[in-house]
């Protein structure tokens, strides 16, 4: 008698499609006459350096998805910055067209490796992998890859004065990584011994999650908390840009991109400052 095998869970098609589409959008920016020497606003990198970093990071993610061990910093902003500088010094390609091809090819390599691993049940989506941001399951690693590309894709679009590729659907696909990463990028000096519970929402509906501080320790969970001190509702693109350190929360509040209420609404402005984007 043959024992039936379990059917592997379906691949997160929407996530993989968004990874491929975002890589293609970045490639379109880089192949539209981009000058690699153009400086990225509020960054020490040029367009060529940012594109090279994306190509290298996508390759790293693809190799992690394929089960290859690739140490890269320890998750702290300082270690990741050092690893980025070292990798860019060793990889000298700065031609936007060449790098555009690499960004797309490595994004597809990730999708191929992740799809194959899940279909073969070799590495289920919830099996942790060692990544630059600590242990992540395969699906959350894909969310990390998408988040990383969108952040640098935004930078490139601003530098080249072209439309960006961030939309609500892609922001929602970034949430699994952002929820996982929040406790890992907490700035304990800023948080101090805070005890408070935030409910975080995207404007227009969609997922909710809670960030509960207990004497400075943070627990982030999906869903609305049973009791909250402050509810923060953010326009989706603004939410991602603030999370990645690309947008000032004060400016977003002034433009109406953030709304807050609750028993302690005065807690809202400080919330983004509790984290240090790597």
Alpha-carbon distance 189 to 10, whole Å? 42
Whether the pLDDT of residue 123 is over 90: the answer is no
Instruction: Give the tens place of pLDDT for each residue, 8-40.
Output: 444 589 999 999 999 999 999 999 999 999 999
Mean pLDDT in residue range 161-165:
97
Question: What is the rounded radius of gyration, in angstroms, for the C-alpha atoms of the chain?
Answer: 19
Handedness of CA 86, 90, 94, 95 (dihedral sign): negative
Instruction: Give the tens place of pLDDT for each residue, 186-214.
Output: 999 999 999 999 999 999 988 899 999 99
Whether the pLDDT of residue 125 is over 60: the answer is no
Whether the pLDDT of residue 176 is over 50: the answer is yes
Whether the pLDDT of residue 58 is over 80: the answer is yes
Whether the pLDDT of residue 252 is over 90: the answer is no
Q: Which two tokens stand for residue 82?
A: 């050092």
Using the structure block, give the residue that is written with the tokens 């969108």.
Answer: 150
Alpha-carbon distance 90 to 53, whole Å? 11
Alpha-carbon distance 116 to 228, whole Å? 42
Instruction: Give the tens place of pLDDT for each residue, 65-93.
Output: 999 988 898 878 889 999 999 999 999 99
**Percentage of the chain surpassing pLDDT 70?**
93
Q: What is the DSSP letter of 269?
A: G
Residues 6+ apart with CB under 8 A from 262: 199, 228, 229, 230, 231
Whether the pLDDT of residue 250 is over 90: the answer is no
Whether the pLDDT of residue 5 is over 50: the answer is no
pLDDT for 152 equals 98
Whether the pLDDT of residue 45 is over 90: the answer is yes
Q: Residue 122 — pLDDT band, cuts 50, 70, 90?
A: low
pLDDT for 116 equals 87
Q: Residue 120 — pLDDT band, cuts 50, 70, 90?
A: low
The closest alpha carbon to 35, from 46, 27, 44, belongs to 46
Query: Bridge-partner residues for 197, per DSSP?
Result: 212
Whether the pLDDT of residue 2 is over 80: the answer is no
Whether the pLDDT of residue 121 is over 80: the answer is no
Query: Bridge-partner residues for 200, per DSSP?
Result: 209, 232
Show the beta-strand stretches assigned E in the chain: 128-131, 134-137, 196-202, 208-214, 217-222, 230-234, 258-261
Residues 6+ apart with CB under 8 A from 42: none
Q: Which domains does the chain have, with CATH numbers?
A: 13-180 (1.20.120), 186-274 (3.30.1050.10)
pTM for the full predicted model: 0.92
pLDDT for 73 equals 83
Q: Considering only 60-64, 124-128, 224-228, 238-242, which range has the smallest mean pLDDT? A: 124-128
The closest alpha carbon to 238, from 246, 228, 230, belongs to 246
């Amino acid at each position: 008698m043959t024992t039936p095998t379990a059917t592997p869970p379906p691949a997160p098609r929407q996530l993989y499609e968004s990874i491929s589409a975002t890589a293609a959008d970045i490639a379109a920016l880089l192949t539209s006459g981009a000058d690699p020497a153009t400086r990225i606003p509020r960054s020490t990198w040029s367009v060529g350096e940012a594109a090279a970093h994306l190509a290298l990071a996508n390759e790293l993610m693809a190799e992690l998805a394929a089960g290859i061990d690739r140490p890269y910093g320890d998750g702290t902003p300082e270690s990741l910055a050092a690893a980025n500088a070292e990798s860019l010094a060793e990889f000298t390609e700065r031609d936007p067209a060449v790098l555009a091809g690499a960004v797309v090819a490595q994004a597809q390599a990730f999708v191929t490796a992740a799809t194959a691993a899940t279909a073969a049940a070799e590495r289920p989506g919830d099996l942790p992998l060692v990544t630059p941001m600590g242990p992540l399951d395969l699906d959350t690693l894909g969310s990390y890859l998408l988040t990383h590309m969108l952040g640098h894709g935004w930078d490139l679009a601003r530098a080249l004065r072209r439309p960006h590729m961030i939309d609500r659907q892609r922001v929602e696909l970034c949430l699994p990584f952002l929820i996982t990463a929040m406790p890992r990028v907490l700035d304990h000096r800023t948080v101090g011994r805070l005890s408070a519970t935030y409910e975080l929402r995207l404007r227009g509906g969609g997922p909710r999650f809670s960030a509960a501080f207990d004497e400075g320790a943070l627990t982030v969970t999906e869903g609305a908390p049973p009791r909250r001190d402050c509810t923060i509702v953010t326009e989706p693109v603004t939410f991602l840009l603030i999370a990645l350190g690309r947008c000032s929360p004060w400016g977003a509040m002034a433009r109406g991109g953030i709304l807050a209420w609750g028993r302690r609404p005065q807690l809202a402005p400080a919330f983004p400052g509790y984290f240090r984007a790597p």
